[in-house]
Amino acid sequence: QMQPVESGGGSVQAGNSLRLSCVLTGYTFSNSFVGWFRQAPGKEREGVAAIYPRGGASYYAPSVKGRFYISQDNTANTVYLQMHSLRPEDTAMYYCAASGRTISMPLRSSEYSNWGQGTQVTVSS
């Protein structure tokens, strides 16, 4: 079973950058997608970015497109989320998830079955 483990969160000022890492233990190059999601207090969990490591296709939420970039290091079983030009509204707990199968909606949280514990990102103005 794939177990994502996130790291890299922290507190930064608006305009700065952070890179989140997701190490996927037990990961095999199957048809699994890997996604980054976030949840702010009182809000629903939303898909931020996703990648299909086997083919490299990536997907982004409109709110982060052009600022966030998802990438993979297959040799390290790691997926990264590079975040630039951070805004206070990006403040949330960020989660990495693996689908374990082929999915049709890569930014929909219900498509994913293996979730990490999350890493907090706080952006101050």
List the chain pLDDT tens, one digit each, 125 residues.
778 999 999 999 999 999 999 999 877 656 789 999 999 999 999 999 999 988 789 999 999 999 999 999 888 889 999 999 999 999 999 999 999 888 999 999 999 999 999 999 999 99
In terms of C-beta density within 10 A (0-12 exposed, 13-18 middle, 19 or more buried), how is residue 36 classed?
Answer: buried
Q: Which residues contact 41 (CB under 8 A, 6 or more apart)?
A: none
